[in-house]
Structure 1
């Protein structure tokens, strides 16, 4: 496991003091006033190995500079119809907060199609939500609760999961690799709900391939998961697909789109989009009318991640070949 955490932090700090000014500047945007806690995240991601954690952080900082990640929240996806198309096919949103103040991120894994825009827009949108979480949501939660909050909870809805998901495995792997390489240890727990049979079977094969640190974070819940989730969050923070057994990721659950945290009409996405537009105007006061997608370099996936992706693909094809099974949840 490497040296004691206190010694590891000191060694890590010493190494970071030697980096050049551009790297130090983008590091400030990452740590948001909590440099030690940020070093600890990278140390955890590399099992407290200082050399590996240092390389990981330096690679991350260089990636941020090369891809202008510090300015990504000033690069809106426009026109609004294009952004709405992204939101309708990349189902992600903030449903609320846990009782401990952690943001609850809802993800519609099964019904996300990623088929209404170029893949670059989906990557850009994902990074923007990461940056907004880290630069706005988490600092606000920290201030409100009077203690440092730098992680979130994620609730993954598997409703509608089917074999066509394999068509997007390359894009999903790219997004996962970006998170693993540049936003390590930002999720405290993954709750998986509305699980179809194909996921349950695939999970048995994939689970042993995951690192123990990752396995401990994943909880597969019964049904829509509301019974367990209500132990850690209030009803108002439950994602809409967890509020009723069998409701799934309905786009019209409850009161129109008011409760659908995936919708662009939801308060979170309105705040996010308006924030990005305001940041864009601060950088460039001229009205924005058109913008090409932002191309971001995707780090190479680790051998372990590549093996997991290949295993998922293989397992899905097994189901495809078994009597023409249609892989969806109820």
Structure 2
């Protein structure tokens, strides 16, 4: 018999909102979505002035003595369309002003040679304790962009901070490692017209020691702005403190509309809801409301998860039917921001059999990781996973997936 899942909401009550100054500021930062539309880099779609600028930049490069015209293993002057994609990124970053784009490109090529950026991916720089924690590439968004996560909260620990940033030499080594992480992400790009030509950056501001990291942050920002133009399609800031909206309002007039259109600003408690808009839950790390655990990528393409919403005042039952006697069911379930009750039970088909409480109603704190459980059925029946949000008026996004291993003959 084929097993299937049925989602059943049991009750609903309307949501309400508080109208106050602080609430309005928080709501601004709760989820501000990106309106950025990425370039296709298809030359036939360029305006006449943009095509002319591209040709002029190529001519200037061809008449300039360069030690190398290669960037990310791609020649900028061989006629390769991938080279055109890179040149268009520099032009776009300077609003197609050829002289400024050329100066930027020339400085970037010199920096890459001096910094050793072309071969940095394979270097052993240490920082094993920071991998998968501070800055790391993790899966892709729904459009195929590689996703880079950044979280500097670990540096609130003074000993850790001193170990990584204690002097100028340590800072330089960290910057090199941070560039290495980005270069590994860039290796995943297509650099082809119509392809995936940029990454997504997710930056977690929770517990970030702003004062202590000011020097490092400024240097990272400067390096990336000067040498990696148009390589980030979307910048998602998560766990943003409420006062960030006021700071954003102050600095917003000084940002270009193109830069602002890339920003997604998300306060604490709304992280999963925001990330689900761009990244599938099976590709989101567990600490951000997803189902992806370290090492999952070694098992190949992750099993897709099903998304659902739990409204305020609602209880949802997920019923997985068609489980045969002797079968083993394994399930994963996560609700963004939890703070509700979760329960699981197995209901046999036989009328005289008793329902088995696998997990009695349990309060799930906001920090809870996804449920990961298995159950061996001794008789045919169905699994019921209950998510009870009746004590809250807040809507939650959620995801689950399961696999049923039927008994062998």
Q: Same fold (TM over 0.5)?
A: yes
Name 1:25's counterpart in structure 2. Answer: 70
User: Hey, which of these two has a bigger chunk of strand by percent?
Assistant: 2
Deviations 1:85-140 (A, max 9, x none): 3438x6112232112111111111444455432112210111111221222x224x
Pairwise CA distance, 1:234:
1.0
Cα distance in structure 2, aligned partners of 1:225 and 1:63: 36
CA distance in structure 1 between the aligned counterparts of 2:244 and 2:220, rounded to whole angstroms: 20
* TM-score relative to the length of structure 1: 0.64
Q: Which protein has the larger Cα radius of gyration, Structure 1 or Structure 2?
A: 2
CA distance in 2, matches of 1:259, 1:125: 23
Partners of 1:190 and 1:200 lie apart in 2 by: 15
Aligned equivalent of 2:129: 85
Deviations 1:37-70 (A, max 9, x none): 1111101111111110010000100111222222
Find the aligned partners of 1:120 and 1:85 in 2 and give their Cα distance: 17
Determine the structure 1 residue equivalent to 2:195: 148
Query: What is the TM-score when the length of structure 2 is the normalising length?
Result: 0.53
Structure-2 change in CA distance of 1:22 and 1:267 (3 Å): farther
Q: Structure 1's 86 and 27: CA in aligned 2 closer, same or farther, altered over 3 A?
A: closer
Establish whether residue 224 from structure 1 lines up as the match of residue 270 from structure 2.
yes
Residue 223 of structure 2 aligns with which residue? 178
Alpha-carbon distance between aligned partners in 1 of 2:128 and 2:231, rounded to the nearest angstrom: 26
* Contact 1:99 1:232 (C-alpha < 8 Å) held by counterparts: yes
Equivalent residue number for residue 124 of structure 1? 176
Once the two structures are superposed, the pairs formed by residues 29-40 of structure 1 within 5 Å of their partners are 29=74, 34-40=82-88
Query: Unpaired runs of 5+ in structure 2?
Result: 1-46, 165-169, 299-366, 368-409
In 2, distance between residues paired with 1:196 and 1:52?
37
Alpha-carbon distance change, 126 to 27 in structure 1, aligned in 2, over 3 angstroms:
closer
Measured in 2, the distance between the counterparts of 1:231 and 1:75 equals 35
Work out the CA distance in 1 between the residues paired with 2:60 and 2:103. 10
**Aligned partner of 1:96 among 118, 139, 142:** 139
How many residues get paired? 240
Structure 1 ranges of 4+ moved more than 6 A: 30-33
> Which of 56, 75, 80 is 1:11 aligned to?
56
Cα shift at 1:209: 2.5
Measured in 1, the distance between the counterparts of 2:125 and 2:297 equals 18
Partner of 1:205: 250
Q: What do you get for the CA RMSD once the two structures are aligned?
A: 3.0
- Give SS of 2:233's match: strand
What is the CA–CA distance in structure 2 between the aligned matches of 1:157 and 1:27, rounded to whole Å?
A: 28
- Would the aligned equivalents of 1:91 and 1:112 in 2 still touch at CA under 8 Å? no
How far 1:189 moved relative to its partner? Answer: 0.8
Residue 74 of structure 1, CA deviation: 3.5
Matches within 5 A, 1:1-330: 4-26=49-71, 28-29=73-74, 34-78=82-126, 83-87=127-131, 91-112=134-155, 114-117=161-164, 118-135=170-187, 137-139=188-190, 147-161=194-208, 164-222=209-267, 223-243=269-289, 259=293
Change over 3 Å in CA distance of 1:167–1:64 after alignment to 2: same
- Alpha-carbon spacing, 1:30–1:156, altered in 2? closer, same or farther (3 Å): farther
Deviation at 1:29, TM superposition (A): 4.4
Structure 1 residue 205: deviation in Å?
2.0
The answer for the alignment partner of 1:248 in structure 2 is none
Superposed displacement of residue 71, structure 1: 2.3
Q: Which moved more, 1:55-64 or 1:149-158?
A: 149-158
Q: 1:68 to 1:241 in 2, by over 3 A?
A: same
C-alpha distance in structure 1 between counterparts of 2:235 and 2:119, whole Å: 29
- Decide whether the 8 Å contact of 1:42 with 1:185 is kept in 2: yes
C-alpha distance in 1, partners of 2:217/2:91? 25
- Distance 1:231-1:168 versus aligned 2 partners, 3 A rule: closer
Alpha carbons of 1:93 and 1:74: their partners in 2 closer, same or farther (altered >3 Å)?
Answer: closer
Structure 2 CA distance for partners of 1:186 and 1:25, relative to 1, 3 Å: closer
